[in-house]
Amino acid sequence: MQSPKIPPTLLDKIVVWIGAAALVLLGLLITASVLLRAAGGVIKGNSEIGEMLIIIVASCALVTATFSDGHPHVHMLIDKLKSNWRTRVAIVVTALGALFWTATAWMNAKVAIGNAILIEETELLHIPLPPFRAVWIAALAIVAGLLIARIVRLLRSPPQD
């Protein structure tokens, strides 16, 4: 069940632009890598840089989809329910999602804390991994927080048909 559309905030727009910039950089990196290979050259650490950009793109995409309520919805079943039942189902499903993303953030944070004594970096370029872990964990926590806020909104003022 989709909640009423909320206009994008400055934070929404910033997350979208960060994700878009990372995606454009990834595309440029891949293009440059292909062109250089054709000319007999290579970009040192191409895959490592690409992997770090993918973390940023995925994090921003997940947060943006949650901000805009852009996650998939099953309309075939939900639309057949009465409004009060749709709201109940939305609250339960959103609560399960919040629980999932909270658990995922928690486990990722445990891994990050456990690996804090290690020097985690990529093999070739020695790019430190903790900042990218932090971006991912922050994205997961933001998604969980947004879902919890959505539950509170649904409980305070359920959507009307």
Residue 11 has pLDDT above 70, yes or no: yes
Tell me the average pLDDT of the chain.
90
For the whole model, what pTM was predicted? 0.85
Q: Could you tell me which residues are beta bridge partners of residue 121?
A: 128
> What is the helix (H) or strand (E) element at residue 22, kind and residue range?
helix 10-38
Is 53 exposed, middle or buried, given 0-12, 13-18 or 19+ CB atoms closer than 10 A? buried
Q: How confident is the model at residue 1 (pLDDT cuts 50, 70, 90)?
A: very low
Please compute the mean of the pLDDT values over residues 71-94 and round it to a whole number.
81
Give yes or no for a contact between 147 and 153, defined as CB atoms under 8 angstroms apart. no
Q: What percent of the chain has pLDDT over 70?
A: 93
Choose the most confident range, by mean pLDDT, from 69-83, 124-138, 145-159: 124-138
- What pLDDT is attached to residue 5? 62
